[in-house]
């Protein structure tokens, strides 16, 4: 082993936080020790190596003041980096709080090295205290919604008075001119004559179906005169009771429409 290799071995040992001495048993260390016995330059390097090793073994890291954590947190809070709902109280955290059993407060997981956030257990006092607030807020929102929905006046305030929308005087009824009234009378007369023509024609063509007429008239409550007029053809309908001795409006209409054209006593429709 030459001098360059000795230097590399000494540096490598310090890199691994080790010191080469006669108390170590590595085979390469024995070679180093045998070399320095005969090399003055390397022996100087080896003595420096031992001094550094001794100093490193006695070196205690410098620690900051105890209040540095609080100072940093305060500065971070002033910078807006700490949330306002932080669960910890300044100055209360230290390594002894790692085993905090209170579920409302975050704890430091010593195994994982991370902070476990507070649990939101509904059975905890914190969880129970949330529900009254939630219910209250929900009720207030519902009340506001009802008030604004059932208060049309607040919306109609800007609308015109409904009375103004209705004119005080009703509109004038349509009055046809006098010269057109005569034309309407002619139209009515023409309609009457046309109707009479139709009824006479129908009665002539449907005279063979007169047997069915009493049934229809009985169902509609036809008068005695019409009933008796049909008895000659069908007398089995007497069991049907009369509803009234006075002719009804329908009966009168039938008398008007289906009156006898002759005095033969037979009904023609």
Partner 1 sequence: MSEDVQLVQQCLTGDELSMRAFLSKYQGLVFSLCLRMLGHREDAEDVAQDSLVRVFRNLEKWDQQRPIKPWLLTIAANRCRTALEKRSKLPSQNDLAIDLASERREHSKHEQEQLDIGEELELALGELREDYRTCFVMYHQEELSYQEIGEVLGCPQGTIKTWLHRARAQLAKRLQDRGVVADPSMLEAT
State the residues that interact with partner 1 by CB under 8 A.
11, 14-15, 17-19, 21, 23, 47-65, 68-69, 71-73, 75-76, 79, 81-83, 86-88, 90, 93-95, 105-106, 108, 112-115, 117
57: left (phi over 0), alpha (psi -120 to 50) or beta: alpha
* 47/190 with CB nearer partner 1: 47
Minimum CB–partner distance for residue 75 and partner 1 (Å): 5
Q: List C-alpha distances in Å: 70 to 66, 88, 255.
A: 8, 12, 114
Minimum CB–partner distance for residue 18 and partner 1 (Å): 6
Q: What residues does 114 pair with on adjacent strands?
A: 109
* 113/132 with CB nearer partner 1: 113
Backbone angles phi, psi at 108, to 5 degrees: -95, 120
* 61/152 with CB nearer partner 1: 61
* 82/269 with CB nearer partner 1: 82
Minimum CB–partner distance for residue 123 and partner 1 (Å): 22
Minimum CB–partner distance for residue 50 and partner 1 (Å): 3
**109 sits in which H/E element:** strand 107-109
* 81/101 with CB nearer partner 1: 81
Minimum CB–partner distance for residue 132 and partner 1 (Å): 26
The residue assigned the tokens 């073994």 is 57
Q: Is the torsion defined by CA of 69, 75, 78, 80 positive or negative?
A: negative
- The pairing of strands 114-116 and 107-109 is antiparallel
């Amino acid at each position: 082993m030459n001098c360059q290799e000795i230097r590399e071995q000494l540096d490598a040992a310090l890199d691994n936080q080790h010191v080469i001495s006669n108390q170590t048993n590595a085979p390469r260390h024995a070679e180093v020790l045998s070399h320095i016995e005969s090399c003055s330059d390397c022996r100087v390097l080896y003595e420096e190596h031992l001094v550094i090793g001794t100093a490193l073994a006695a070196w205690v890291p410098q620690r900051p003041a105890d209040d540095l954590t609080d100072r940093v947190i305060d500065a971070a809070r002033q910078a807006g980096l700490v949330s306002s709902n932080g669960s910890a109280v300044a100055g209360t955290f230290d390594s002894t709080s790692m085993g905090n059993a209170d579920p409302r407060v975050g704890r430091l997981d010593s195994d994982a090295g991370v902070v476990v956030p507070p649990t939101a257990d509904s059975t905890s006092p914190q969880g129970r205290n949330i529900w009254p607030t939630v219910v209250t807020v929900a009720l207030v929102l519902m009340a506001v919604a009802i008030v604004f929905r059932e208060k049309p006046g607040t919306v109609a305030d800007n609308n015109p008075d409904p009375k103004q929308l209705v004119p005080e005087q009703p509109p004038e009824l349509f009055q046809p001119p006098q010269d057109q009234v005569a034309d309407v009378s002619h139209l009515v007369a023409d309609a009457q004559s046309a109707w009479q023509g139709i009824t006479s024609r129908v009665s002539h063509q449907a005279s063979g179906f007169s047997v069915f007429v009493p049934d229809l008239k009985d169902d509609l409550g036809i008068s005695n005169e019409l009933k008796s007029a049909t008895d000659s053809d069908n007398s089995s309908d007497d069991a049907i009771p009369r509803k009234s001795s006075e002719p009804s409006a329908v009966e009168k209409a039938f008398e008007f429409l289906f009156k006898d054209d002759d005095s033969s006593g037979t009904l023609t429709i």
